[in-house]
Amino acid sequence: MSTTHPWLRYVALGDSFTEGIGDPEPASPGGHRGWADRVAEVLADAAPGFAYANLAVRGKLLGQIVDEQLEAAIALKPDLITISAGGNDVIRPGTDPDAIAARFGKALDRLAETGATIVVFTGVDVGFSPVLTRLRGKVAIYNENVRREAKRVDALVADQWALREIQDARMWDRDRLHLNSLGHHTVARMVLETLGVTNSLEPMRPEPHPNATWRQARTEDLVWAREYFVPWVIRRIRRTSSGDHISAKRPDAGPYRVAAADGIPASETRTAD
C-alpha cells in the first residue's frame, strides 16, 4: 500500500550506499538491491508510467560523482533526485569537510536548475562503530554543512544522523562499512517518510541476525581485518577504488513494477522491464 505522489522520473546519484552494496540480490541489476531500489518499488506501485535510474557506483568520491553522474542524471529529465555524496571523501585522512561541502553545494545548485525535488543525506552518527567512531566529529561538521546547503536550494534532508535504528550492529554488513538488507530497508522507510509517502514497509524486516557472543565477535574481528580492512588500506595506498571499471546498474530511466510485498525474492516478485 502506498499513497499517490507527484513523481514520475526518479534518478539516484551516489556511491556504494546508493548502489545498494551490502544488500545482495542476484536477480537485481548489478546484483544488489539497496534502499534506492526499495524506494523506487514503492513509488512505482503508486504511479503508472513511473521510471527509475540509478547511476551510483561504489567507491566514488564527490568529484567523480559530480563529473560522471551529474549531467547524465540531468539528461534523464528527472522530477525526483536523490544524491548522497561526500562520505568517501570525509573518511579519508586530511580532508576538509567544509571544502567537501562547498563542492557539494555547487552540485546542488546545478541539480536545482532542473526544478526536480531533491533529497540529500546526512551521514550516520558513527559513535557506535569501533571502526569509524574517531570520525564522528568530522561527519557532524559535514552534516551541518549539508543541512545548510540543502536549505539554500530547498532540498529535503533524509537525516541518517537522527536515524537511531541504524546505530545497531545488526543493521550492518560483515565489512562494517555498508548497511545490510535490514539497514537498507530501514533507510528506505526513512526516505519515504521524508518524501511524505505512506507505505507498507514494516520496521525490522527482514529479521535481524542475533547479536554475536564475545568469542564469535573476536573471531569476526580477525576475519574482518583480513578480508576487508587490509584490502581497503591497500587500495588507499595504490589510489585505486572498488568502483574502478564498474558501471552504473541502472543507467537509463525505465519502468519499475512491483508484483508483491517486500521481503519476497526479486526473482519471484519484481520485474524491471
Could you tell me if 14 and 61 lie in one domain? yes
Position 159 scores a pLDDT of 98
CATH code at position 254: 3.40.50.1110
Q: Examine the domain organization and report whether 43 and 122 are in the same domain.
A: yes
**Domain span including residue 216:** 212-242
Q: Is residue 2 part of a domain?
A: no
Do 162 and 224 belong to one domain? no
> 105 and 162 share a domain?
yes
* 238 shares a domain with 113: no
Nearest residue to 86 via CA among 70, 74, 97: 97
Handedness of CA 222, 124, 50, 109 (dihedral sign): negative
Do 173 and 198 fall into the same domain?
Answer: yes
167-222 pLDDT per residue, tens: 998 899 888 789 999 999 999 999 999 999 999 898 877 644 445 443 444 455 44
Please state the domain count of the chain: 2
100 assigned to some structural domain: yes
Question: Using omega within 30 degrees of 0 as the cis cutoff, is the peptide bond preceding 206 cis?
Answer: yes
Together in a domain, 179 and 47: yes
pLDDT at residue 227, rounded to an integer: 57
> Beta-carbon neighbour count of residue 154 at 10 Å?
10
- The pLDDT of residue 173: 86
Same domain, 159 and 69: yes
Q: 52 and 14 in one domain?
A: yes
Q: Are residues 200 and 223 in the same domain?
A: no
Same domain, yes or no, for 77 and 100?
yes
- In the predicted model, residues of the chain with pLDDT beneath 50 are 207-210, 212-218, 221-222, 224-225, 258-273
Residue 1 lies in a domain: no
Read off the C-alpha cell for 30. 548489478
